Structure 1
């Protein structure tokens, strides 16, 4: 479960992405258009230390991009090239925001979602000691839950940025699609798919082999 805070964040996540996305080779969109949130989903970090959120965003009339992010309370050693930027959170303080494809905590959570069907984390606020659940903005599914033994990932050996972005570990490879619904982007292997309001046919988000 993901505890949310009613907090002020500066810069906002979308403001951060507006400056970062145009520098990605896989990004397509009007650099002058405002980056808008389409939907989002989160994974749980079993240790409770790292926030894991995947944003679906669009700039103007451009395609929907999938941007997984991790939020950390301190820099991640050796991950400077994956740093999107830092934000000031009025409750949690300084947060280091990473392209999650370079974060091993995200790789483990994504593998668990694909192979075990762990799904997305339930998001909630605490209001006067009671839990207030925020409805999910989208759904995710896997075609492999319970059919494949979950391997021990081991270390992340390399990450190949692109569309898809490929995360190579000791045991598996994960492919994260960046532009959703792109022609010719059908993945191979166990696949995570999803839908959101207005999109009823599942689109592939990531795959594992």
Structure 2
């Protein structure tokens, strides 16, 4: 169950992201970022140890998907993926990571694509998020199949076996074309700066032709 605590964070997630976003090749802003919450969803860690959040933020430069994991201790070998540390009012020190480099998030994202788990509401405990949609055809995968994440100017790509790739759209753009033609996908909605709702793909699983 994705438990959402009503407590304080120092620094806040948005403060962490304001410092981290300019280091990403897919962030197109100039000057100091001004990220604003625009939506997202959570996934459960079956072991109950790692917080998993797909956070969406907007700022004057665009709309961005930021998958994050929150851990009670550093993740070995993931120093390059550390977004920062926070003091949580209930759980204490938390290490926040770019979740594309965290095997727990990758495993649960694949489970979501394959229909084995449900997306959870971002701000309410134990509540499925019905706005998140997914599809899948073909066989299953594990996080061990996707161990390297590489950023580019639009997103993050994780190559897998037999020509498979898992691509996360870090720069979000509205789409009215329906589900992408792919082996699997996850899509959802977010709030735009003018207060309307937009919908588009978050992650797409491609297989070799």
Q: One fold, TM greater than 0.5? A: yes
Matched residues in 1 for 2:79 and 2:14: separation?
20
Q: Is the 8 A contact 1:154 1:170 kept in 2?
A: no
**TM superposition shift of 1:59:** 1.4
Q: Residue 156 of structure 2 corresponds to which residue in structure 1?
A: 165
Q: Within 5 Å, which residues of 2 pair with 1:48-197?
A: 48-60=48-60, 62-116=61-115, 118-122=117-121, 139-144=131-136, 147-154=137-144, 156-162=146-152, 163-169=154-160, 172-181=164-173, 188-197=182-191
Q: Is the 8 A contact 2:40 2:190 kept in 1?
A: no
Structure 1 vs Structure 2 CA RMSD = 2.6
Figure out how many residues of one structure are paired with residues of the other and give that number.
Answer: 196
Deviations 1:43-82 (A, max 9, x none): 111111100001110113x211000000000000000100
Matched residues in 2 for 1:35 and 1:91: separation?
25
**TM superposition shift of 1:6:** 1.5
Q: Is the 8 A contact 2:3 2:126 kept in 1?
A: no
Deviations 1:162-195 (A, max 9, x none): 2220123457531111101189xx7844121112
**TM superposition shift of 1:135:** 8.7
Structure 2 length-normalised TM? 0.82
Deviations 1:90-119 (A, max 9, x none): 110100000001000011111111121633
**TM superposition shift of 1:158:** 1.5
**TM superposition shift of 1:7:** 1.1
Q: Residue 206 of structure 1 corresponds to which residue in structure 2?
A: 203
Q: Is the 8 A contact 2:120 2:127 kept in 1?
A: no
Matched residues in 2 for 1:46 and 1:91: separation?
20
**3-state SS of paired residue (1:74):** coil
Structure 1 length-normalised TM? 0.82
Structure 1: stretches of 5+ with no match in the other structure: 126-131
